[in-house]
Structure 1
Amino acid sequence: MTSLGTATAAPGEIDTGRLFVGETRDGTEVGLPVAVVNGADSGKTLYVQAASDGDELNGVGVIQRLVPRLDPDEIAGTILIVGIVNYHAFQVAEHRNPVDDTKMNRTYPGDERGTSSERIAAATFEAATRADLILDLHQGSTSRMIEECRVRCGPRHRLHDECLELAKVFGCGYILDQKGPDGQLARAGPDDGVPTIDPELGGCVGWDDHSIEVGVRGVQNVLAYYGFTDETHVPEPQTRATGFEQYGAPAGGLVTFHKDLGDRVARNDTLFEVTDVFGQSKAEVTADSQGVFWRTRRLPQAATGEYVCSVGTDVDSY
């Protein structure tokens, strides 16, 4: 028998339940939706979670579509799933946990006696570190972004190569291989000995069918490559960036982009122009480095200094 919260499955079974992480202000128990897929045969354990940022819903869409396709009789090993991590933020469609105004993916490995976010992080980290591999499904919040996998442990980490391999196997097409901030699960997992990646499944308001299917295929790729299923998967070369440059608006106005997501960028290429409401140009912004046009704001209006776009730099093929 394998359990996660109240979900318990014998070999060849799937069960769903709740992982309790505290109470709301009226004393109601808070339970994260969880699932256990216990394969008929022994094998590795995969941990998958979604919505540690409450408005990043594409990962929830991946789990919604993936779980009904899983047949435990055809799986070797175990899959542990937390469908919604940031329970409080998900309820109000916000990025941060409104109970403690915290970004969940800065609180790992958590603290079982800490704040709301730290307690949730501690409970999910305990589940995650029971696994051999960790997938922490994200998206670029509500901005526009390519599908990519993030390797956040840093190139000198002892598990860097294993994390990079996992990102290549997942196969979004792009990898950002850059050490991330403290408190990310993709940092804390490798520190505890578990290869971990942070797939960023596009960016949108609500969810996006294309990005969700990229995520479903990514998880299926992982299941095939690491022996959970009888399927085979040969990883394809990925475009890897090890740098990331962000650009803000030098003047307030309306933004017109000169590049599309995924376009190659050369140094001094025009990335975007800012005009006034009458179409008169106020400023043009050019690229400082060559790379890939990676991410943009969604709305056209921008104030002076406000974030507009990002370029992945130091690009190679991996």
Structure 2
Amino acid sequence: MTTLGTASAAPGEMDTGRLQVGESRDGSPVGLPVAVINGADEGKRLYMQAASDGDELNGVGVVRQVVPQIDPSELAGEILIVGIVNYHAFQVAEHRNPIDDTKMNRAYPGDENGTSSERIAKATFDAAISADLVIDLHQGSTSRMIDETRVRCGSRHRRHRECLELAKTFGCGYILDQKGPDGQLARAAPDEGVPTIDPELGGAVGWDHESIRKGVEGVFNVLREYGFLDGSAEIEPQTRAAGFEQYGSPAGGLVDFQVELGERVSPGDTLFVVTDAFGTEKADVTADSNGVFWRTRRLPQVATGEYVCSVGTNVDSY
């Protein structure tokens, strides 16, 4: 029998339930929606979660398409899923948990006696480190961003190679291989020996169906390549970046981008220009390094010094 919260499934079965993580302000229990898929045959355990940040919905879109497509009778191993991690932020369509004003993916490994976010992090972390592999589904919030998979443990970590192979198998096309901030699940779980990736499925307000499609394909690539399902993934080389350069605006005004997401850039290439409301050019911002145009702000208006875009640097093929 495999359990997660109130979900419990025998071999060849699937069940859904709730993982209690505290109480709301009226004293009612707060339970995260969870699913357990227990394969008919023995195998590895995969843990997957979505909406660690409450406005990042593409991961939820992936989960709701993946789960109905998996037949437990054809599965080897177990899959544990938390469909919505940042419960409070999801309810109000915000990035951070409004109960304690915390970014959930900075709270791992959590604390069972801590704040709202720390308690949620602890409950989901315990589920994650019970697994052999972890997929933590994210997106670039509401910015515009390429579809990528992040390896956050750092190149010197003992699980780095396994995390990198998992990212390559997921197969979004791009990998950011850069040590992440403290408190990320993709930083904390490898410290417990569990290879973990952080797919950032584009950036959108609401759903982005193409990014969701890539996320669904990525999950099934992992399920096939790691023996949960029959077949193997068609693993193709990924474009890997080991760093980021961020660009702010030297002037206030309106931004016009001169390159497309995913396009290669070289030093001196114009990334964007800033004009006033009448079209008069005020600034021309160029790339400092070779790289890939990775991420941009969504709205065109900027103030002096405000973030505009990012370029992935130290790029190779993996």
1:224 aligned partner, one-letter code: R
Cα distance in 2 for partners of 1:21, 1:284 equals 50
- State the Cα distance separating 1:235 from its structure 2 match: 1.2
Instruction: Tell me the alpha carbon deviations over residues 90-133 of structure 1, each in whole angstroms, 9 at most, x when there is no partner.
Output: 00000000000000000000000000000000000000011000
Q: 2: CA distance between counterparts of 1:262 and 1:271?
A: 12
Distance 1:304 1:95 in 2: 25
Q: Tell me the residue number matched to 2:79.
A: 79
- Name the counterpart of 1:19: 19
1:168 is displaced (CA, Å) by: 0.1
Which residue number corresponds to residue 239 of structure 1?
Answer: 239
CA distance in 2, matches of 1:255, 1:39: 51
- Structure 1 CA distance, aligned partners of 2:135 and 2:300? 33
Aligned to 1:146: 146
Aligned to 2:122: 122
- Could you list the per-position Cα deviations for residues 62-85 of structure 1 after superposition, in whole angstroms to 9, with x for gaps in the alignment? 001110000000000000000000
Q: Does 1:113 align with 2:113?
A: yes
* 3-state SS of 2:108 partner: coil
Indicate the residue corresponding to 1:28 in structure 2. Answer: 28
Q: Which residue of 2 aligns with 1:4?
A: 4
Counterparts of 1:119 and 1:125 in 2: how far apart (Å)?
A: 10
Unaligned runs of at least 5 residues, structure 2: none
**Residue 183 of structure 1 corresponds to which residue in structure 2?**
183
2:137 aligned residue: 137
Amino acid at match of 1:234: E
Q: What secondary structure is seen at the aligned counterpart in 2 of 1:68?
A: helix
Task: Report the secondary structure of 2:217's partner residue.
Answer: helix
Alignment pair present for 1:156 and 2:176: no
1:165-184: CA deviations, max 9, x gaps?
A: 00000000000000000000
> What is the rounded CA distance, in whole Å, between the counterparts of 1:230 and 1:48 in structure 2?
20
**Deviation by residue 1:5-29 (Cα, 9 ceiling, x = unmatched):** 0000000000000000001000010
Mapping of 1:163-312 within 5 angstroms?
Answer: 163-312=163-312
**Alignment partner of 2:31: what SS?**
strand
Shift of 1:233: 1.2
- 1:60 paired with 2:65, answer no
Tell me the matched-pair count. 318
Task: Give the secondary-structure state (helix, strand or coil) at the position aligned to 2:94.
Answer: coil
Distance 1:232 1:181 in 2: 33
Q: Deviations over 1:180-214 (max 9, x none)?
A: 00000000010010000000000000111100010
SS of alignment partner, residue 190 of structure 1: helix
TM-score (normalizing by structure 1): 1.00
What secondary structure does 1:163 align onto? helix
Cα offset, 1:231, TM superposition: 1.8
Matched to 2:36, the amino acid is: V
Matched, 1:102 2:109: no
Summarize deviations over 1:2-54 as a string: whole Å, max 9, x none.
00000000000000000000010000100000000000000000000000000
Q: Which amino acid is the alignment partner of residue 51 of structure 1?
A: A
Report deviation, 1:234. Answer: 3.1
CA distance in 2, matches of 1:213, 1:70: 16
Query: Aligned residues: percent identity?
Result: 78
Unaligned runs of 5+ in 1: none
Deviation digits for residues 265-303 of structure 1 (CA, Å, limit 9, x no counterpart)? 011100000000000000011001010000000000011
Q: When the two structures are superposed, what TM-score results if normalisation uses the length of structure 2? A: 1.00
For 1:285, the aligned partner's letter is V
Cα distance in 2 for residues equivalent to 1:53 and 1:231: 33
